[in-house]
Amino acid sequence: MSRKYFGTDGIRGTIGKFPMTPDFALKLGWAAGKVLSNNSNPLAVIGKDTRISGYMLESALQAGLVAAGLDILLVGPMPTPAVSYLTRTFRASAGIVISASHNPYYDNGIKFFSANGTKLDDAIEMKIEAYLEKDIVTVSSDYLGKAVRVEDAAGRYIEFCKRSVPAEMSLNGLRLVVDCANGATYHVTPSVLEELGAEVIPIYNEPNGVNINKECGATSLSNLQKNVKTYRANVGIALDGDGDRLMMVDEQGDVVDGDEIIAILAKHRLEHESLSGDVVGTLMSNLGLEKAIQNMHVGFRRANVGDRYVMEQLRACNGVLGGEGSGHIIIRDRIETGDGTIAALQVLHAMVVSGKTLHELKQVMEKYPQILINVPIQKKINLDKAKGIQASVKNVEEKLGNKGRVLLRASGTEPLIRVMVEGEDLMVITELAEQIAEAVRKAS
């Protein structure tokens, strides 16, 4: 059965429109509480990013969870991976994050972690959806939950991040520009890096409820590139609104994306005998990453798009490193979910140990040109049954032969069809990608 409400990363939408409404959030809190509650410790941790709508959804979720009999720990604005960590630290039944990640402020979302700090699998999400079809039944007054605020949540997470690198590692001498996307990392990531000795120049670290991800963060790097050059920084670090993505800029002002970060970390870990299992990318990972990993004589796997599916593959092969080109990097022996701050620390550690610049380190991988076109759609399209689209894809694949690849997929979070074409010649693949995109537009 397909899920009705959950997408690839929780439930997401525009505020004020179903399902991002107070009444749905209340019902969702109750349903999740019924499914996820651990009778020995019925407790949920709730964090959020800096969107103004977070207050509304937080209150509604609280009411539903309390009605289901769960106590609540409110940690305020915190990165998504911090909620994963705190859920495990407090031995909670569940962790909940109110965030739409890299989306604009007028969107929001709700995503869940299990007691182990991992994203929920499809079967659990289906159980929550089943409860959403039922009427709310409030537990008796003797068993109602209560909510308290955790005052030291940020400090706990800062120390956790610092422990992800060797105690003797120092960032003294490194100048870092850190773009916090006016999001959930604004009060933690600069502190982590400063406490490890770096000179930190924070930008976009003044959230006001509506400026999250606005021309900044991991999905908008031009201002970070300019600042790296202006301040003659060693590295630029860009996080997204909820802190689970990382993109970087090297000292020359060039972007270092998630695929390149994975290649850098794979080589570093291989050299220091801390790489186990296969490296896991996704269907969208650049062909250059696959070849770089294979040149290291390490296995490479492609998962479906979404960090939850990367994690499934990592567990299957007992791997420790995987992620997406968009910047979700999972370093499984550090934390069981994507964490932009911890991933950045691992890259900085590789720089310190090797004595190389970020630009030098990224030469481990040669990127293939890759064109991605996001085509807005007005209605759902069954890509497998759309004859015009399939004919266009077949035509392009025949032209590419074995020197490239095509991937079409529907976004799990937005009304888009993503058209990706990869190959050796940028001009050629740009034209081919546009051919398929036009076929998608006609079908919608």
Active site residue ranges:
101
Neighbour-count burial of 134, counting CB atoms closer than 10 A to its CB (0-12 exposed, 13-18 middle, 19+ buried): exposed
Cα–Cα distance measured from residue 351 to residue 346, given in angstroms and rounded to the nearest whole number: 9
Residues listed for the chain:
444
**Any idea what the Cα angle at residue 217 is, between residues 436 and 223, rounded to 5°?**
95
**Residue pointed to by tokens 């959403």:** 132
Confirm if 189 and 166 have CB atoms less than 8 A apart: no
Strand ranges across the sheet with 11-14? 11-14, 107-113, 94-98, 43-48, 71-77, 147-149
Task: Count CB atoms within 10 A of the CB of residue 266.
Answer: 23
279-282 and 300-303 strand pairing: parallel
